[in-house]
Amino acid sequence: MPPEITRQNWLYAPYHRYGFQHVSEFVRTAVVSRGSGPVRELLQQPRDLQGILVSGKSDRDTDASHISFSQALKLTHTDGICVLHGGLIVHEQYFHDMRPETLHLLMSCTKSYIGVLVGIVAHEGLIDLNTEIEHYLPQLAGTGFAGGTVQQHLDMSVGVAFNENYSDATAAINHLDYAVGWRPAPEDYVGPKSLVGFLKGMKDSAYTHGSYFDYRSPITDVLGLLLETVSGKSLAELLSEHLWRPLGCEWDSCFTVDDEGQALADGGLCASLRDLARFGQLMLDNGEASDRQIVPRSWVASCRYGDEASFDAWRASAFVDRAPNGNYRNQWWCRERTTGVLLASGIHGQALYIDPSAHLVVAKFSSQPQPRDTEIFNLQFALFETLAAYFKA
């Protein structure tokens, strides 16, 4: 580890470029085993994408309307990109010391894995999506989660209050980092020192359950706790059993865990780029891989198209201005509900883009300087849509 990179700064630019690729040097982790089965090979059929022009500014000081594919990768601070078309790798590229076997932090792309796990476990009969969360997790009675159904947690329409403003030094998201060990707590910190302790302390509500969509990471942590409780297994074990092994993933992965061994379901998964792409291909193929139905087809369809309750919560939210016909369903983003395009997204530019009509999957790791940057996000999404248009042509 370079001496200038520490547990205090590994999450922040410019040190995060190293930190995202070496998470286990800074945080406790649990292994997600791929097992000893065969790797599901991703065959390669390279395509020259360098002539593609992406709609967007080449930098913040010019009015250029289009930029090259390589410029788009540079300006979105790409660490690695893998493009699958028809299940074949048509483009794979690594930057900043990344290699195919490197595990990179997924940040909130992790949430979409959790959503899929809930779908699988619910299909097995261990979870009723319409049941209130405290039925399974009585320790959350009296919190802002209580009274919300499992489905409302999946759709982030449960009414619990939480400040996830990364530019606000006083925001609760910082205390979550302290609780789970992502950052050393300051000397005057007197808050919880575990993820479960943090969740039990979230007492306030912001609105009525089901009435409003708002993005709050601890809601996914509740789903992670739910999965572990009903199954009696850790999230690392569940991911290995239900996804990594049946998918034929190429490398073991890992999950960050707190001092009690509780995985950070909202953003703590680390994976290789190709294994992220394999997960995307699974969703593109309606939950099927190697002639086996891994994820229920109905769950994949629900993620793509949602239902009226999730649409209503979206329409009531501030996000409707950005995507009037969008949705958030089962821990997946959908910018235009009629297309079935899915997006898993994490801060600093982590992304998994899935477009069924283009037979396209794009897995991308990045180390963008700011957690959230609207202009860079729009450029990155324009890159994905440009690739989709190219492969549809």
Burial 191-222 (b: 16+ CB within 10 A, else e): ebbbbbebbbebeebeeebbebbbbbbbbbbb
* 60 C-beta neighbours (distance < 10 Å), count: 8
DSSP for 98-144, written as a single string: --TT--EE-TTHHHHHHHHHHHHHHHTTS--TTSBGGGT-GGGTTST
Kind and range of the H or E run holding 355? strand 350-355
363 CB-contact burial (10 Å; exposed 0-12 / middle 13-18 / buried 19+): buried
Q: Which of 108, 217, 310, 317 is catalytic?
A: 108
Answer yes or no: 108 catalytic: yes
3-class state of residue 345 by DSSP: strand
Residue 23 and residue 29 in contact, taking contact as beta carbons nearer than 8 Å = yes
Task: Name the residue type at position 185.
Answer: A
Residue 214: half-sphere exposure toward Cβ, Cα within 13 Å: 18
The rounded distance, in Å, linking the Cα atoms of 374 and 380 is: 10
Residue 2 and residue 18 in contact, taking contact as beta carbons nearer than 8 Å = yes
Which of 293, 309, 47, 35 has its CA nearest to residue 155? 309
Residue with tokens 């998918």: 247
The rounded distance, in Å, linking the Cα atoms of 252 and 14 is: 27
User: SS3 breakdown of the chain: % helix, strand, coil, rounded to 5?
Assistant: 35, 20, 50
Count of residues in the chain? 393
Catalytic residues: 108
